[in-house]
Amino acid sequence: MAIVRVIKALLGLCILSAPSLYGVAWAGDLPARESDASEVPSIAQSEVAGEAAPRRCERLAFRVPKRAGLHPVGVDDLLHLRDFGARGLDMAAPPGFAISPDGLRLAVQVRQAEPESNSYCQALLVFDLRHPAAPIVTVMMSDELARSETTLYGMNGFPSGNARPLTPQWSPNGKRLAFIQRSHGHDGLFVVPSAGGRAIPVARPTANVLSFSWVAGGKELRFETDAPLRQAEARLVEQGREGYRYDDRFWMLAEPVPFTRGEVGTEHFRVAVSATGEWGTPEPISPEPSREDSDHAWVEMDKQPLFAFRSRVHVAVGGTPIPCQFETCENAGGAWWSSRGREVVFLRREGFASSRTGIYRWRPGGSAPPLRIAETDDALTGCSLVLDTLLCGRERSASPRDIVAIDSRSGRTRQLVDLNPEWRDVAPARITRLHWTNRFGIPAIGDLVLPKHLPAGARLPLVVVQYETRGFLRGGTGDEYPIRAMTASGFAVLSISRPLDYNTWLARRGESVDQKDLMEHWTDRQSAHDSLLKALGEVRSRVPLDLDHLAITGLSDGASTATYALIHSRMFSLALLSTCCEDPGVTTSAIGPAYEEMQQEYHYPLPWQEHRESWLEMSPAMNAQRICARIQVQAADREARMALSSVKVLREAGVPIEMYVFPDEYHVKWQPAHRAAIYRRNLYTLREWHSGPPMPCFSSRLAP
């Protein structure tokens, strides 16, 4: 459980948030567009700063699918996928794309990893929705990746390896596009003609542009920067000359220097464009007061009961806030006000283990409950409502993210843009959705992915990948375990979602929650482990498994599940981890006072020396003599220090453990060369492990 609740936001996996602020103007319905695999648009490259796209970015250009001689998925197929928007599946996240005011064009900011140069190919692409085969207008961007930062436990500018979900904005007349790109170490604001041409820097600040908007009919841009935060960080650097006082500003798993704390504010600017298209000098302005007087919809958490974390649709009509009290308004992920029909359109997680997405309409003020328009297994992200159409990123188990339009009246979904048409050339996957309930009564789901050809009578080695299986089956949480490449190598893969936190399960059922008692007995970890056992039982009922060759993988919460399994059952003879390990001597002292305060808040069994029996349930080092498995850790340099004590104790106990450390990395790793190395090393280790005999101690294992 360590760092799990703290880090979930950094992983981009939160399913509940405020509605997106990245709306688009609208002046007509989307044009009809029938998908045709043979129609793949070409790229018409424009220029940035007078330089054409570098040759290393040739993969960014779309290739017509061959649709013959389908090939198994390899590491390169996954590494070179074109991505956009947020990493996670937040329904109301910034989308990464925008529709033109006339509804006829779509602009999207695309990034594509280039492991060979350890950089990114990034571009602003403009698609003609009326003519799918028309050339794509392409504005090449900087190869610097803009990465998200957040405020964590009062610490500002907390870094992550997640790409920032940059979203372009059209000018009101559709002739220009404004967008953010990272250049020379900061996220600046640029404008380019929507028909292609030269991108002009509007603001190249010594700070990052956080948000921007067109005003005055497109004659002016206003933007916000984090200059006060950067100035505060500069002052911290000066303080370092005399040494830093170790206090709650430190989080040693992110940086060895302190963060700023407290409110730091932002700065606001305006910049005008002349009739001839020339941009003026940015001028500082006072921020406009927020206006909430118009009718709008949003999602927020109920305050009671504690620990339930139950989200609910709310609206404001005529300035009066109204919560939706119907049960179907719970577990919502995004809500949008439809001004045309004075209704609310919202998305919610529902079905078994909340594994499906429901689309609803609700008219506030009436007695009728929300009307469900459609339900789907697809995972939707970065949605916005334009008239009666929801525009979303969509992921399916077997397909990477694309962009779709969903009619909020009929529920009909149609693809607008396929950013990875080459994926049609890969061999289809054999994917089966599994359902089970653990002994605590908590439901969970998994996806069983099998090799295309199963030799008669063969027993398959199995790899468990964690800990969220909704959406595209790429590499698990953190994207380090290439699922489809594993199956192409002959491994069965079980991708699982962890069950709902045990205290949340109790609170939502109206049962009392004794957080201190739950932590003392690690009940939530017991629940996750039992769910894992039930999942393995489901797999064994369907395919024959090689019980000497079961492997488990994991990052963060997934790593905690993996090490708990190594302690409490002898099922897995190989553990591939991205983080390690939950040992009390480190986790209770070596991260920082802010984390220690969080542990006290959640009633961790502290001081750990007085709760040794409790920590014996969780600590790999304290159970080193019991562990019978090969362990491989591929850690970020900042987080590797958390594993040092565990690695030493495990090695002394004879456990074969290796650790690889990747420089300048975070909880979620961001460098393409590192991801390529991690993918390939994990595959190599799996093949080597499967080709060899089981460990001598493993012959006495208890089969699941």
Q: Is the pLDDT of residue 32 over 50?
A: no
Predicted confidence at residue 662, as pLDDT, reads 98
- Edge-to-edge strands, sheet with 186-193: 169-170, 176-183, 186-193, 200-203
The string of pLDDT tens digits covering residues 210-239 is 999 999 999 999 999 999 999 999 999 999
Q: The tokens of 497 are what?
A: 């979602």
CA 130/CA 127 separation, integer angstroms: 9
The string of pLDDT tens digits covering residues 492-512 is 999 999 999 999 999 999 999
**Strands 492-496, 209-215: pairing kind:** unpaired
3-state secondary structure 134-147: CCEEEEECCCECCE
The string of pLDDT tens digits covering residues 367-411 is 999 999 999 999 999 999 998 899 999 999 999 999 999 999 999
Contact in structure between 436 and 541 (CB atoms under 8 Å) = no
The CA-atom distances, in angstroms, between 468 and each of 370, 393, 498, 665 are 28, 18, 7, 22
Q: Is 617 exposed, middle or buried (0-12, 13-18, 19+ CB in 10 A)?
A: middle
Chain centroid, CA 143 distance in Å: 21
CA nearest to 281, candidates 329, 229, 337, 221:
221
Q: Is 453 exposed, middle or buried (0-12, 13-18, 19+ CB in 10 A)?
A: exposed
Q: What are phi and psi of 528, to 5 degrees?
A: -65, -40
Predicted confidence at residue 104, as pLDDT, reads 95
List 360's β-bridge partners, or say none.
Answer: 346, 372
The conformation of residue 107, written as its DSSP 8-state character, comes to E
CA 365/CA 108 separation, integer angstroms: 37
What band does 20 get if pLDDT is binned at 50, 70 and 90?
very low
Q: The tokens of 269 are what?
A: 């600017």
* Torsion angle (degrees, nearest 10) of CA 190, 193, 198, 202: -20
What band does 320 get if pLDDT is binned at 50, 70 and 90?
confident
The string of pLDDT tens digits covering residues 138-160 is 999 999 999 999 998 899 999 98
Q: Is the pLDDT of residue 673 over 90?
A: yes
The string of pLDDT tens digits covering residues 127-138 is 999 998 899 999
In this structure, the chain runs to a length of 704
Q: What is the DSSP string of 276-314?
A: TS-B---EEEPPPPP---S-EEEEEE-S-STT---EEEE
pLDDT more than 70, % of the chain: 91
CA 593/CA 432 separation, integer angstroms: 45
What band does 206 get if pLDDT is binned at 50, 70 and 90?
confident
**Strands 460-465, 492-496: pairing kind:** parallel
Q: Is the pLDDT of residue 529 over 90?
A: yes
Tell me the average pLDDT of the chain.
89
Instruction: Classify 237 as helix, strand or coil.
Output: helix
Predicted confidence at residue 5, as pLDDT, reads 43
Q: What are phi and psi of 17, to 5 degrees?
A: -160, 175
Q: Is 663 exposed, middle or buried (0-12, 13-18, 19+ CB in 10 A)?
A: exposed
The string of pLDDT tens digits covering residues 347-364 is 999 999 999 999 999 999
Cβ within 8 Å of residue 93, ≥6 positions away: 12, 17, 20, 85, 86, 165, 381, 382
Q: The tokens of 356 are what?
A: 């499906």
Q: Is the pLDDT of residue 42 over 80?
A: no
CA 391/CA 95 separation, integer angstroms: 9
- 237-265 burial, b for 16+ CB within 10 Å, e for fewer? eeeeeeeeeeebbbbbbbeeebbbbeebe
Q: What are phi and psi of 271, to 5 degrees?
A: -145, 130
Inter-axis angle of helices 523-540 and 557-568, to 10 degrees? 80
Q: What are phi and psi of 518, to 5 degrees?
A: -60, -40
Q: Cis before residue 159, ω within 30 degrees of 0?
A: no
What band does 293 get if pLDDT is binned at 50, 70 and 90?
low
